[in-house]
Structure 1
Amino acid sequence: MAERTGWQKVAKRIRVPMGFVFAAVFLWLARPTGKTLGLSLLPVLAGLWLRGYAAGYVRKNAELTTTGPYAHTRNPLYLGSMLIAFGFAGAAASWWILGSLALLFAAIYIPTIQGEEGYLRAHFANFDEYAAKVPRLLPRLTPAPTTAERGSFSRKLYLHHREYNASMGAGAIYFALVIRLLWEKHAFIAGVAGPR
């Protein structure tokens, strides 16, 4: 079994708690507008769809999944997370958030992906052949040829992985951003129409 390095272990362990910390900082720094909220829907909805689609295919640690979205990218779940996160960074209209997010993803997800690839390489003999055909993150346009039996989306797997939590989380963040937007507008209007 391939051993993870020290930082790979730490990165894998802190990625979820760091996400919550980043969400709090994000909401504090966010300056959304109606336009940025509207434009953010495209990457956020695409990311949610991709994560949900991938969750309906993957059987973690049981098999090397090479069909469905995994025939286009080896990490559709992480790509979906990036689309969601950068969509929200756009909604927040903050360069600080965008830059911090890029650094956070590089520090956390690069070692996490490398560690997971080490595990897959050690446990699945055909991983290197698969990796030669399918890009690590940015997807290929056509599915990679495979000799594996063509898989299909499984609602049962989707529910097992509880991927619906991502949609609920995105909804909560949009709700918080709308509240932030309304608060800012109210504060602005109250300041303009203040006591004379």
Structure 2
Amino acid sequence: MSIASIGQIIWVLGIVGWYFIRRPYERRAKRVEVVSNRRSASETIGLAAALVGLGIVPGFYVVTGIPEAADYPASGWAVAIGTLVFAAAMWVFRRTHKELGRNWSITLEIRDRHELISGGPYALVRHPMYTSFMLMGVGQAFLLSNWVMGFAGLVGFAILFFLRVDKEERMMLETFGPQYRAYMERTKRIIPFLY
């Protein structure tokens, strides 16, 4: 088996893991009443971009090998780094869902009895879910030895992040006021101590 194939298999296992982490929270979220919904066209575009860049486009590449012209030689060290980064992404993703619990939502929503979560990964960054997506994109870039498909995840993440994060923070400020402002002052957005 080639190193490139090993990277692709690890990527597929990571995506399957992502699905199994998220699925129970999606089911539970349907049972909690939404009291404020901020869905918008830009949010839909951002979510679609993330899905395409982190799932559909690289999945197409893994299945078909297209575009083969953008392939480059895979290396064991890159697959090892990609594996570690993708594993870190899944750990953050799992911890984020666990901390949010009944507050979790795929879209910009405030749920009944919504609480401001500031423990676990939320003690370091305000948006660890985006941190996990960013790490997935970096891991994908190392695991898939294709210039286009490897970096598609980072592009998809960036589109989602920049279309949505400001709206999400405005919604949280409107909901939690000074409590959220104080939280913003002591945490960074997605990279601990940096940004």
Aligned CA distance change for structure 1 residues 16 and 100 (closer, same or farther; 3 Å) = closer
Deviation of the 1:85 alpha carbon = 2.5
Question: Aligned partners of 2:94 and 2:39: how far apart in 1?
Answer: 27
Q: Does 1:132 align with 2:174?
A: no
Which secondary structure does the structure 2 equivalent of 1:113 belong to?
helix
Deviation of the 1:50 alpha carbon = 1.3
For the 8 Å contact 1:4–1:115, the answer to whether it is kept is: no
TM-score (norm 1): 0.60
Mapping for residues 70-149 of structure 1, pairs under 5 Å: 70-125=122-177, 126-140=179-193
Instruction: Pick one of 55, 58, 66 that aligns with 1:23.
Output: 58
Deviation of the 1:135 alpha carbon = 0.6
Deviation of the 1:37 alpha carbon = 2.3
Q: Deviations over 1:1-39 (max 9, x none)?
A: 795654234324664366432232442356645443223
Q: Deviations over 1:118-177 (max 9, x none)?
A: 221221122122112111111139xxxxxxxxxxxxxxxxxxxxxxxxxxxxxxxxxxxx
For the 8 Å contact 1:64–1:124, the answer to whether it is kept is: yes
Q: Return the letter of the residue paired with 2:182.
A: E
Gaps of 5+ in 2: 1-35, 104-110
Question: Aligned partners of 1:76 and 1:2: how far apart in 2?
Answer: 21
Aligned CA distance change for structure 1 residues 20 and 95 (closer, same or farther; 3 Å) = closer
Which secondary structure does the structure 2 equivalent of 1:7 belong to?
helix
Aligned CA distance change for structure 1 residues 42 and 114 (closer, same or farther; 3 Å) = same
Which secondary structure does the structure 2 equivalent of 1:66 belong to?
coil
Deviates more, 1:70-79 or 1:56-65: 56-65
TM-score (norm 2): 0.60
Size of the aligned set, in residue pairs, is: 141
Aligned CA distance change for structure 1 residues 26 and 131 (closer, same or farther; 3 Å) = farther
Question: Aligned partners of 1:20 and 1:48: how far apart in 2?
Answer: 14
Aligned CA distance change for structure 1 residues 3 and 38 (closer, same or farther; 3 Å) = closer
For the 8 Å contact 2:86–2:135, the answer to whether it is kept is: yes
Deviation of the 1:109 alpha carbon = 2.1
Question: Aligned partners of 1:131 and 1:2: how far apart in 2?
Answer: 22
For the 8 Å contact 1:64–1:127, the answer to whether it is kept is: yes
Instruction: Pick one of 38, 45, 48 that aligns with 1:10.
Output: 45
Structure 1 stretches of 4+ with a deviation exceeding 6 A read none
* CA RMSD, Structure 1 to Structure 2 (Å): 2.8
Question: Aligned partners of 1:21 and 1:76: how far apart in 2?
Answer: 23
For the 8 Å contact 1:8–1:115, the answer to whether it is kept is: no
Gaps of 5+ in 1: 142-196
Q: Does 1:36 align with 2:52?
A: no
Question: Aligned partners of 1:45 and 1:112: how far apart in 2?
Answer: 25
Question: Aligned partners of 1:45 and 1:79: how far apart in 2?
Answer: 13
